[in-house]
Amino acid sequence: MKIVINEKHEINKLVSNEIIRLVKSNPKAVLGLATGGTPLGVYEELIKDHQENQTDYSQVITFNLDEYYDLEPTHKESYHTYMNDNLFSKININLDNTHFPDLNNPESYTNLLEQHRVDFQILGVGSNGHIGFNEPGTPFESITHYVTLAESTRKDNARFFNSIDEVPTKAVTMGLNDIIKSKRIVLIAFGANKAQAIKQLVDGAESENWPVTILKRHPYVTLYLDKEAASLL
């Protein structure tokens, strides 16, 4: 596992440059996308590049990691809305090529992922070590499934809502066994509240109590950390 410790803006450039190179060399690249605060700077760099250099996303295929179960897709905090606002509406992606977990039939998403193996997966990590919404205790063999969000996750995400009571309690997430099948994985972590999860990943053993530790099994992972997220290494 390669570890890069750098400033946020440098990390956003490095990761976006890798995605841009991939899309230029393979116009039909399959991207696994994340939401939350972490990837926003990468998406901004992709948009800037698209405006300046017209990088073509018309055939790119995307799979998002997760979606809240109890929000309408049009809700302002749904991950559909997040992706439209922060990336899809600002590049020339074909919305028919963008995918989110099927809230009525989660397993069908795993079947779809088997047909379109993800070339490049971008990940954030929860303070409790979740990836996607695979909370502590999720089996490493899990496929796309319903989840009840951990209280710590609802607290972490309350900043996007008016109050914690509005944060959904359920979601559908790509499973750990789906995520690990991506050809390339880049995990970004910013801030001291991610330091413990990063320490478990780098120095700890594989454990379902820290879902992120499944990445120890993957041959081609890079961690991009700011110095706060790397502070316990």
Contacting positions for ligand PGA (CB under 6 A) = 36-38, 124-126
CB 170 within 8 A of CB 148: yes
Quick one: CA dihedral 77, 136, 103, 165, positive or negative?
negative
Nearer to ligand PGA, 58 or 209 (CB): 209
Catalytic site residue 114?
Answer: no
Classified as helix, coil or strand, 128 is coil
Helix, strand, coil proportions of the chain in percent (round to 5)?
Answer: 40, 20, 45
- Least separation in angstroms between residue 36's CB and ligand PGA is 3
- Least separation in angstroms between residue 207's CB and ligand PGA is 18
Nearest to 66 by CA among 77, 76, 80: 80
Catalytic site residue 203?
Answer: no
Q: Which of 130, 134, 156, 178 is catalytic?
A: 130
Nearer to ligand PGA, 55 or 86 (CB): 86
Catalytic site residue 66?
Answer: yes
Q: Which of 12, 64, 86, 128 is catalytic?
A: 128
Q: Which residues have CB under 8 Å from 62's CB, separation 6+?
A: 30, 31, 32, 33, 83, 93, 97, 98, 99
Q: What would the two tokens of residue 121 be? A: 């997966």
Nearer to ligand PGA, 97 or 122 (CB): 122
- Least separation in angstroms between residue 120's CB and ligand PGA is 17
- Least separation in angstroms between residue 9's CB and ligand PGA is 16
- Closest-by-Cβ residue to ligand PGA is 36
Q: What would the two tokens of residue 100 be? A: 């989110």
Q: Which of 45, 49, 66, 178 is catalytic?
A: 66
Residues taking part in catalysis: 66, 128, 130, 135
